Amino acid sequence: MPAFPKRTTTDFSNLASGNLIGYLMVPDPEFPRTPSFQRRPQPSKALTGSDRTKVKVMGRESILINKSLTDLRAVEQLTDSEQLNGLAALLLDAAERRMDGKKTLVQVVDLLERQMDEKGLASLLAPGRPGDLARPRRQEIFECLDRCRELKF
Q: What is the pLDDT of residues 28-71, one digit of tens each?
A: 677 666 767 788 888 878 887 777 888 899 988 999 998 889 99
Pick the more confident residue, 1 or 16: 16
pTM of the model: 0.74
**Residue 27: what pLDDT?**
64
**Residue 111: what pLDDT?**
96
**Residue 43: what pLDDT?**
80
Amino acid occupying residue 123: S
In 59-134, the DSSP E strands lie at 62-65, 68-71
pLDDT in tens, 95-142: 888 898 899 999 999 999 999 999 988 888 877 776 788 999 999 999
Helix (H, G, I), strand (E, B), or coil: what is residue 74? coil
Handedness of CA 145, 150, 151, 153 (dihedral sign): positive
Enumerate residues 6+ apart whose C-beta is below 8 A from 82. Answer: 132, 133, 134
